[in-house]
Amino acid sequence: MAPPAPGDHEARRKDVSEAVWRVLAAKGFGGLTLRAVAAEMGASTGMLTHYFPSKRALVTHALDLLEQDTAGRPRRTPPADGLPTVRAMLLDILPLTPADTARNRIWVSSWDLSLADETLTAQQGDRYARLRDTFRPHLETARGLGEIPSNADTGQLASAAVAFVHGLVVQALFDPGRFPEDVQIAMLDDFVARLAGPGTDTAPGSSRDT
Amino acid sequence: MAPPAPGDHEARRKDVSEAVWRVLAAKGFGGLTLRAVAAEMGASTGMLTHYFPSKRALVTHALDLLEQDTAGRPRRTPPADGLPTVRAMLLDILPLTPADTARNRIWVSSWDLSLADETLTAQQGDRYARLRDTFRPHLETARGLGEIPSNADTGQLASAAVAFVHGLVVQALFDPGRFPEDVQIAMLDDFVARLAGPGTDTAPGSSRDT
DNA sequence: CCCTACATACCAAACGCTTGTTACGTACCT
DNA sequence: AGGTACGTAACAAGCGTTTGGTATGTAGGG
């Protein structure tokens, strides 16, 4: 009955991954149990431990899945250098499709676990640093193009952009009715438009990064 | 041995509340168990059920505690009507003190549970609506004072302000070293300064999509 | 003033259930 | 034959919950 073809080890791991994903989307990390995952794919917990020796390994794999899904998600083709690209990148984060909503929901869900574990806290902190770093070069391009002031602190603006978009994600997750697609986009466009403004005028020689 | 004075029922509930708070600050909602709370106050689980008949009741109480602590926290005296008040209110949210950090950490931790439960999701959504509503009148005052453009959408700006500050909270929680007090304040000041700008000029009759 | 009656406040222990983990058996393919 | 791929089943630990018992208080009657 059960096909033990020894070649599709990776394929079976992928099946497990999809079951993990569905459990996470439905019940979050607090509801991620071996039995829930096993039941989701109509298998036994013994089979799970055949692919993931411990719960910790499964959780780690779930976090990897999250990162992998995030990195591999379909993205908009960058329209033009500078601010339009920043806008497109931020749009790619918002929960505008069911897939984006699930991914964001799982990210937010993971924060409880991440905050309770020192190692995971540091990893999440690094992830945020990397995310900010992906915005920075495009903000520098925008500065070079004169789309934002020449004295703008691109590192700080990257942090601000990530902050704004993730804060919007959280509100949208808790109240999708009040944050439909057009509202989210309008808010994002408004935010990007304000990037072009002066912000706080920093006196020369007073700003340092990191 | 143990004094069962029947008058201090509320006082004892407060003791329980403080133990719950300490457990939440240390281990989040995922680590909130009856035994952990009982151990935290050197008592038994039977005593807990004497004050909270079920785990659900304790969790509900914990969420009430969060709301209560948030509502009752010390706040800055509003400096001047309009934008300065908005800035002060946003400053009151940021994790600048250990108490603020603990409160924010617990809030973020609660989102896993809240997203997994329909009722809690709606409650959190309402909380966000109320939070946005506390900003709106001051933004309208700012508009009346000419601090922000006369065609500004105050409701949208309130959502944006809450989004920005909570997104900043999350990043600061995961990487306190990179978001010390002065960085957080600088980012907030920059954001508030941009509120004074035009944002997206909503020309009547023109629409932009996708 | 003492004795009984009763409610409160709790502890210790056990309940049944779920958790992660492990051991063992078996079907299958090479 | 032997390794791979499972299912079955048990395990101890931890979970929320329940039970039984024991102090400690208050209240009322004699």
pLDDT digits (tens), chain B, 210 positions: 444 556 678 888 999 999 999 999 999 999 999 999 999 999 999 999 999 999 999 999 999 999 999 999 999 999 999 999 999 999 999 999 999 999 999 999 999 999 999 999 999 999 999 999 999 999 999 999 999 999 999 999 999 999 999 999 999 999 999 999 999 999 999 999 999 988 897 644 444 444
* Chain A CB contacts of B199 below 8 Å: 190, 193-194
Does A121 score more than 50 pLDDT? yes
Taking only the tens place, the pLDDT of each residue in A160-170 is 999 999 999 99
Which of the four pLDDT bands, split at 50, 70 and 90, describes residue A52? very high
Nearest residue on chain A to B154, alpha-carbon basis: A187
**pLDDT on residue B202:** 63
Average pLDDT over residues A53-58: 96
**pLDDT on residue B6:** 62
Selected residues 88-147 of chain B with any CB under 8 Å from a CB in chain A: 105, 108-116, 121, 124-125, 128-129
CA of B44 to C1' of C4 (A): 31
Percent of chain A whose predicted confidence (pLDDT) is above 70: 92
Calpha distance A37→A21 (Å, rounded) = 9
In chain A, the domains with their CATH numbers are 9-68 (1.10.10.60), 75-195 (1.10.357.10)
Angle at CA of residue A150, ends A149 and A151, nearest 5°: 90
**pLDDT on residue B163:** 99
- Average pLDDT score, chain A: 93
Q: Quick count: other Cβ atoms within 10 Å of Cβ A8? A: 12
**pLDDT on residue A207:** 44
Average pLDDT over residues A175-191: 98
Considering only CA atoms, which of B90, B96, B82 is closest in space to residue B141?
B82
Which of the four pLDDT bands, split at 50, 70 and 90, describes residue A199? confident
Q: Is A172 within 8 Å of A95 (Cβ atoms)? A: yes
**pLDDT on residue B55:** 97
**pLDDT on residue B5:** 58
**pLDDT on residue A10:** 84
User: Could you identify the residue whose CA is nearest to the C1' atom of nucleotide C8?
Assistant: B6
Average pLDDT over residues A79-85: 97
Considering only CA atoms, which of B161, B186, B184, B190 is closest in space to residue B171?
B184
Amino acid making up residue B35: R
